[in-house]
Structure 1
Amino acid sequence: MNLPNKITVSRIILVPLLMIFMIPIPDATVNFPLLKFLKDEMLAFNRFVNGTGNYIAAFIFILAASTDGVDGYIARKHKLVTALGKFLDPIADKLLITAALIALVQNEVITGWAAMIIISRELLVTGFRSIAAAEGQVIAANKSGKVKMVLQTVAVSVCLLENWPFSLITDIPIGAYLMFLAVIVTIYSGIDFFVKNGKILRSGNK
């Protein structure tokens, strides 16, 4: 496995670690009779997660998100592009953003609608790219898609950090507004993607 693919895999590995620091251990598990000997430790861990876990999760998320593009750049520059890399890279991106969104919904930081719209767009575009690949065509990311990814990353990061550093100067829920903006741009980028690439799907149905 070459370096770009290792970077991509590391992004996937960080996903469950992200979830560990975002979602407390369920009460059913904490109170499970066979795990009674670990109850104090689990309660202590939950207090830690509820207290500072989001900040650690934010660091993990930002670290993982920062590798997006690095693996592709290295692969192209050193001619290390592989079929495995093309397969894993978009999956790693989708897993990261999906995991963060689901955890934020569970923690009641964002609405289920926001997560559903963003995740649906990613799944539809990924499926479309698979169809295009079967037709021997590679669809490059458009500008609106790149802006969408940046906005999603910033919005999730600010939500995880509980509006820091904006909370130092205002009580306005900047994270919520950024997430709303990310949803709007996500919808626009999805429409833009399908309008520009719909001919591929139509040609595949002929």
Structure 2
Amino acid sequence: MSIPNIITLGRIILVPVIVWAIVSSQMEIAFAIFVIAGVSDAVDGFLAKRFNMSSELGALLDPLADKALLVSIFVALGIWGAVPRWLVILVVSRDIMIVTAVIVSWLFGKPIPMKPLMVSKLNTVAQVAFAALVLASLGFNFNPAPYDVILMGFVTVFTLVSVSLYLVEWVRHMSTIDAR
């Protein structure tokens, strides 16, 4: 168990805490935890690369921690009414489709290599920026317009484009299965 993996596990532990903060209307706390989670993500990535502490476990845990945090925040903010439910459904559905595709390919004995696309990285940046803006605006009582609408547009476009590209890649990958 390396230091980056311990930091990543700490980020996973923060997920229920940030959800509690949101549902308890403790938005300043939720925003602070979100910032701490973001800093911890940067720190564990830096340590893993800089000091050659990368591991297979870390390669699995890090994106899992990121997705657990973002999906939980979007769902909690959607239930709270701060994020449109259609956007929550879009964000969550994308991740469910990707995980399902990975599981199906694995079940067929044709595991698909996990390589994030550039548009997925942009999607994550847009989701993080949007969630941070919403949490900050709720916690510190300011109007995020028009930046919230702009970021919501980026999240929508990047989510749709990334799931489409992953689906095309998955179909291409799976079409090479022999029908015996």
Task: Specify the TM-score bucket, using the shorter chain as the normaliser.
Answer: 0.7 to 0.9
Aligned to 1:12: 12
Aligned to 1:184: 157
Task: Choose 1 or 2 for highest CA Rg.
Answer: 1
- Is the Cα contact below 8 Å between 2:137 and 2:144 reproduced in 1? no
Aligned to 1:147: 122
Q: Where do 5+ consecutive residues of structure 2 fail to align?
A: none
Contact 1:132 1:138 in 2 (8 A): no
1:110 partnered with 2:100: no
Contact 1:156 1:179 in 2 (8 A): no
Structure 1, unpaired ranges of 5+ = 25-48
1:63-142 matches, within 5 Å, as 63-68=36-41, 70-130=43-103, 135=110, 137-142=112-117
SS of the equivalent of 1:172 reads coil
Three-state SS of the structure 2 residue aligned to 1:140 is coil
- The residue correspondences of 1:160-175 to structure 2 (distance < 5 A) are 160-162=135-137, 167=142, 172-175=145-148
Identity within the alignment, %: 26
**Structure 2 CA distance for partners of 1:75 and 1:201, relative to 1, 3 Å:** farther
SS in 1 for 2:41: coil
Alignment size in residue pairs: 177
1:113 shift after superposition: 1.0
Please give the alpha-carbon distance, in whole angstroms, between the structure 1 residues aligned to 2:23 and 2:174.
Answer: 39
How far did 1:201 drift? 2.2
CA-CA distance at 1:4 after TM superposition: 1.6
1:165-189: CA deviation from partner (whole Å, max 9, x where unpaired): 9x4xx77353244223312211111
What is the TM-score when the length of structure 2 is the normalising length?
0.82
8 Å Cα contact 2:9-2:65 kept in structure 1 = yes
Partners of 1:152 and 1:82 lie apart in 2 by: 26
Shift of 1:96: 0.3
